[in-house]
């Protein structure tokens, strides 16, 4: 009986304390290089008015005004109706010319075709060695092709190679029919994916890019879908091929992207040419942990298309540098929780692995963490409880959120009493 009374009184003492608000003053101290704030309500009352956005795998700091300045000083332009340079890792646009103008995009359409083929492969819907029958509709495609014949059999691998290397319209339509049941059904999938990716100026009418009314996109949307295709890294096994053979060596295919032979770091991605679209390219290149996407639409000639893409990529590699995020390895992974069903909660950091800066614009990069010493339950998953501040030369230049990874429920008196009764029943 003494044990029962002691347990009961202890429970009342502990959990009645959970109903009492703490009114202690805020204290700050340093522990292992981490700034801790003793009052858990500090961030609720003193949160910066500056929004803190989650970061992706790479971040770009203060680039927009710099890009405009460079463009003005050097009269920077490209011979095309529209053009864009994008950082592949973050989607940050570094150069823009008429990027939202609706334009035909010719065979750059096949970027979306290949996205859906890779999604079908990765989901198990189709397999790389599956054989694809060639229909009379695929056979009827004009423009660039590998001269497929009705009834001929190719594998998905072979047709992907024909699309990525030779920009074969017949191969693209054959794959579309295989994945979507019909080209029109596949186009519905293409438009649904475009909507999912936020490609607001894009509408697909076919799977290969031949000129047809209503088949339009823009430079911004081309960059978005190029970036999406690049997530399927196996694509580079195809886009990096210069020359290959099909039909047991009887049909030679040569890559339409001539930058493969002339530009350092080029990885892909897709060319396109029709009478309405002009000469186009979405070119991708990687050097020194930096990866860029250069989009050129409506260039007058093939040479000018490649020169424009090269100029955009050169602009990226000449003016930016990638640096790793500093000091993040030692940051705590959990935080103490008071009055919760769990004694600690996992922390979720929104930090980039690498950052893209203007060359020479940073010095002595360091990051500092600002979190409370503890938090009080209940607290919801996704609640921001602190920040990581990035400094260059002692000046704060960027801020990243620290959030709670999972819900933490509060242990109230009712739950405490339930626990106590359960203990007593087992005695």
Alpha-carbon dihedral 227, 230, 231, 232, rounded to 10 degrees: 140
Angle ∠(31,32,38) on CA atoms, nearest 5: 20
3-state secondary structure of 53: coil
For 74, the token pair is 């050097």
Report the C-alpha gap between 167 and 107 in whole angstroms: 7
Out of 107, 217, 291, 392, which one is annotated catalytic? 107
The CA distance from 361 to 399, in Å, is 17
154, 157, 161, 162 alpha-carbon torsion, rounded to 10°:
20
24 assigned to active site: no
Give the per-residue SS3 of 65-116: HHHHHHHHHCCCCCCCCEEEEEECCCCCEEEEECCCCCECCHHHHHHHHHHH
Is 99 within 8 Å of 82 (Cβ atoms)? Answer: yes
* Among 81, 110, 193, 270, the one annotated catalytic: 110
Tell me if residue 110 is catalytic.
yes
Question: How far apart are alpha carbons 130 and 160 in whole angstroms?
Answer: 12
Is 107 among the residues known to form the active site? yes
Give the relative orientation of helices 156-166 and 169-180 as an angle to the nearest 10 degrees.
Answer: 140
What lies within 8 Å, CB to CB, of 367 at 6+ separation is 325, 326, 327, 328, 351, 388, 389, 390, 391
Residues 226, 207: Cα–Cα separation, whole Å: 15
Please pick, among 167, 299, 322, 392, the residue that the annotation labels catalytic: 167
The pair of three-digit structure tokens given for residue 80, joined into one six-digit string:
């095309």
Contact 176, 207 (CB under 8 A): yes
Distance CA 22, CA 19 (A): 10
Tokens of 82: 């529209």
State the catalytic residues.
107, 110, 167
């Amino acid at each position: 009986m003494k044990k029962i009374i002691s347990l009961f009184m202890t429970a009342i003492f502990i959990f009645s304390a959970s109903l009492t608000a703490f009114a202690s003053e805020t204290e700050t101290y340093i522990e292992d290089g981490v700034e801790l704030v003793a009052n858990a309500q500090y961030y609720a009352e003193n949160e910066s008015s500056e929004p803190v956005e989650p970061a992706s795998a790479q971040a770009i700091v203060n680039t927009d005004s710099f890009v405009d300045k460079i463009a003005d000083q050097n009269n920077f332009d490209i011979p095309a109706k529209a053009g864009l340079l994008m950082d592949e890792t973050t989607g940050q646009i570094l150069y823009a010319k008429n990027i939202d103008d609706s334009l035909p995009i010719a065979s750059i359409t096949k970027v979306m075709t290949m996205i859906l083929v890779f999604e079908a492969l990765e989901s198990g819907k189709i397999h790389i060695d599956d054989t694809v029958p060639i229909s009379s509709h695929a056979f009827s495609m004009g423009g660039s092709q590998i001269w497929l014949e009705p009834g001929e059999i190719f594998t998905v691998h072979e047709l992907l190679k024909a699309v990525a290397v030779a920009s074969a319209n017949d191969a693209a339509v054959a794959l579309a029919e295989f994945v979507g049941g019909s080209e029109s059904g596949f186009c519905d999938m293409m438009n649904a994916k475009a909507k999912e990716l936020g490609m607001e100026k894009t509408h697909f009418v076919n799977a290969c890019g031949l000129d047809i009314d209503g088949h339009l996109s823009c430079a911004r949307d081309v960059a978005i879908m190029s970036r999406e295709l690049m997530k399927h890294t196996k694509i580079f096994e195809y886009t990096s091929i210069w020359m290959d053979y099909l039909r047991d060596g009887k049909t030679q295919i040569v890559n339409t992207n001539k930058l493969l032979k002339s530009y350092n770091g080029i990885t892909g991605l897709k060319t396109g040419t029709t009478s309405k679209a002009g000469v186009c390219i979405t070119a991708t290149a990687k050097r020194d942990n930096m990866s860029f996407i250069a989009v050129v639409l409506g260039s007058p000639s093939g040479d000018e298309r490649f020169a424009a893409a090269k100029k955009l990529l050169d602009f990226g590699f000449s003016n930016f540098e990638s640096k790793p995020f500093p000091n993040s390895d030692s940051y705590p992974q959990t935080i103490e929780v008071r009055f919760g069903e769990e004694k600690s909660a996992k922390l979720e950091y929104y930090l980039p692995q690498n950052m893209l800066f203007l060359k020479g614009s940073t010095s002595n990069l360091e990051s500092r963490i600002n979190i409370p010493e503890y938090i009080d339950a209940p607290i919801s998953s996704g609640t921001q409880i602190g920040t990581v501040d990035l400094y260059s030369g002692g000046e704060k230049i960027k801020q990243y959120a620290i959030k709670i990874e999972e819900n933490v429920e509060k242990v109230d008196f009712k739950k405490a009493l339930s626990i106590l009764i359960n203990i007593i029943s087992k005695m």
